[in-house]
Amino acid sequence: MSFEEAEVIRERAEAFLSNAKQLLENGLYDLAAFNLEQHLQLLIKYKLLVKTGTYPRTHSLTRLLSELAKLEPEVKKLLDREDYVLLPTKVEDAYIGARYLPRRYSRSEVAAMLKFVEEVVRPVVGKV
């Protein structure tokens, strides 16, 4: 792993988050959901890369969060807490749903995912 590789991943993660917010504002909810998924995927891969020198070659947020939880036990709550348990999988499903399925996301769904990402996941992942 090089510092440059890690920085590219981090910058792309932040760009996906910014893009998700803009797409949500513009009413493009499917693409906003996909961009949120990409943001989280890259953010977690960045943290794993910096901490361990590598990351699993997977698109599964739940698997990536499980790997990160090995480094920081608090991350496990994102997968286990009753009030959070559905949101990581909902964001994970956007990878396929927004790209390949005739699935439409609503403003309220994407807004809830964004709130979860910004207010819950980022603070927890940021501690790693």
**CA–CA distance, 44 with 25 (Å, rounded to integer):** 25
Structure tokens at 75: 């991350």
pLDDT tens series, the chain, 128 aa? 677 889 999 999 999 999 999 999 999 999 999 999 999 999 999 999 999 999 999 989 889 999 999 998 889 888 887 777 677 787 888 888 877 888 899 999 999 999 999 999 999 888 88
Burial of residue 43 (number of CB atoms within 10 Å: 0-12, 13-18, 19+): buried
* Cβ(5)–Cβ(49) below 8 Å: yes
Q: Which of 2, 79, 3 is nearest to 40 (CA)?
A: 79
What CATH code would you report for 3-126? 1.20.120.330
Say how many residues make up the chain: 128
Structure tokens at 2: 């090089």
